[in-house]
Structure 1
């Protein structure tokens, strides 16, 4: 059975995701993996940083081609992420992070996506994958968020 993911462009579904984020505490521990809860929150925000902050440069053309042909379908497709799967270097959070500020930042991003709506994302360029549909953007955000919230038991 193919999982369905929350539609983060829908305010009610975004609010449900936010309630899951709010259920985390500084003492939440992972069911698998090595990240702390604060690192996980920071890790989840990287996808939104790539859209909104411009702090991550576009990969070179060869790497973009590799990402589009070998990684894109895994990221924007319906299959869930395997547990403890490797992550791209930009998404690795190695330093300690402040739980409260990382949680607030991720919640603000989820709210911003809901507020911007599908029209802001339809055909929007991904630095790594090229233009994506709004549905693909939603899966990119929602599947990743669900994977890590499940990792921390919420």
Structure 2
């Protein structure tokens, strides 16, 4: 009888530990990849260049998803998780750099250069048109002067014939 009770106790202990470990597995897997907060965090990470890879076939992306999910389960907030990755890998851990300091100039400079080029092209075209118009006017004036000289000489020749 004693052996049976020890056997039953061992079986209960074994089945109890299996249940506890299964519940721990459920607690660890309690995150949801479709959660908006989870998506917003992983969409901001570059994942070492694997951000656009397929989750089912990319081990690096799966590792990042698991890490972010574990951090969310530990009660960390979005900013804490992003700060962790930035402290580990630097700003390159993010898909888009933060809008502060030198990063603002990196975003603004290309647009300012494009604007400056358009302004320069506008004024160059305006100057070329002005120079072209003045050259055309000079040529027309010269042609008019030549025509006037020709007509004058013809009139003078005709007048001499009549005199």
Larger RCO: Structure 1 or Structure 2 (Cα < 8 Å, ≥ 6 residues apart)? 1
Which structure would you say has the larger Rg?
A: 2
TM (norm. structure 1) is 0.21
TM-score normalised by length of structure 2: 0.21
Higher helix share: 2
